[in-house]
Amino acid sequence: MAINLKELSKKSIPLSAGHRACAGCGSIISIKLVLMAAEDPIVCTCATGCMEVVTTIFPFTAWKVPFIHNAFENAAATMSGIESAYVSLKRQGKISGNIKFIAFGGDGGTYDIGLQSLSGAMERGHDMLYVCYDNEAYMNTGIQRSGSTPRCAATSTSPVGRASQGKKQYPKDLTKIMLAHNIPYVAQASPHRWLDLMTKVRKALSIEGPKFINIISSCHRGWRVPVDNALDVCRVAVETCYWPLYEVENGVWKLNYTPKEKLPIVEWFKDQKRFAHLLKPENAALLSAIQAEVDRRWNELLQSCGGTKTS
C-alpha cells in the first residue's frame, strides 16, 4: 500500500499529454494522481463535466485505461453495472484477475445532479471507488453555483452587486453525507499533498466495498486565481481548515493533517477574486460569520477524531 517514489517515477502516466485542460487546472492534477496510485488494472467512468470535455473530445481521448463517458447524473450508476458484470463474469469463470473500478465526477455531477445514483451505488455496496474532483461550481458550463460553492463566492448565478453578496448558503458537507451510508472508507484530500492523496487512493482500492474520496481541485477560471497558483491555493484551503484532510475507515476517524498555525479564512479568500467583495470593510460581518462556520466544522471534526477544540 505504501507509495514508493522511485517505482512511481518509472510508471507511465495513464492520462496522456495533449488534453485540453486549462493551464493551472487542479482537477487534472488530481485525476492524474488518482490514476497513478492504482496498482491493479482499472476501469473508469466519468460524468459529463470539465474533465470529460477536456479529455475526450471525439475522436480523441487522453485516457490510457478503459473509459466510459456518462451523462451528468449517472457515473456511479454506470460503474455499478460494470462492477456487477465483472462479478458475474468472474463467477462464471469467463474472466480472471483483479480489476478495480473508479468513477469520477465534479461537484456538479456529484453533490447535485449525480447524488441519487451515487447514493444508490454506495447503499447497494458495489466494490468501487468514487472520486469527486471538487472545484466548487459548474465550471464547464459557465461557472454557476453548486451545492459545493462556498458562501459568498461570486458565480454567474450568484453574482455580487447591490442586491447580492454572492452565494447565500454554506456548502453541503458531502463527505459526511457519504459517511451516513456506512461505507467502509471515506476521505478528503488535496493535490498539494500528493503523497497523502495517493496513499488514500491506494488504501481505498485495497478495501472491498464502496469507497468515496473528495478532492479539492482549484479552477483558475472560476476561482479567479493565477494559473501558477493551482496547488498553493489548495494548500491555503487546508491551512485555514476550510478543507481538512481526514479519513474514516470502518467507522474510525483519523485526522491526517493539523496545521502548525491555523490560518484565518481571509488568507484563503484574499488571493481569489471570487471573494474580493468580502475584503471590503462593509462586509466584515459576513467574513466573521464564515470564519465562525469554518471553526465550528473544524472543532466538530476534531471531536470526531478524538482531538480538542481550537479557536
- Domain limits, the chain: 14-304
Mean pLDDT of the chain: 96
Question: What's the rounded mean pLDDT across residues 150-159?
Answer: 98
Q: What are the angstrom distances between the C-alpha of 203 and each of 199, 265, 309?
A: 6, 31, 29
- Digit-coded pLDDT (tens) for 255-273: 999 999 999 999 999 999 9
The whole-number pLDDT of residue 38 equals: 95
- Digit-coded pLDDT (tens) for 80-129: 999 999 999 999 999 999 999 999 999 999 999 999 999 999 999 999 99
The whole-number pLDDT of residue 5 equals: 86
The whole-number pLDDT of residue 4 equals: 84
- Digit-coded pLDDT (tens) for 242-256: 999 999 999 999 999
pTM of structure:
0.97
C-alpha–C-alpha distance, residues 180 and 159, integer Å: 33
Please identify, in words, the CATH class of the domain defined by 14-304: alpha beta
pLDDT at residue 18 above 80?
A: yes
Q: Quick one: cell of 222?
A: 472560476
pLDDT band at 217 (very low <50, low <70, confident <90, very high): very high
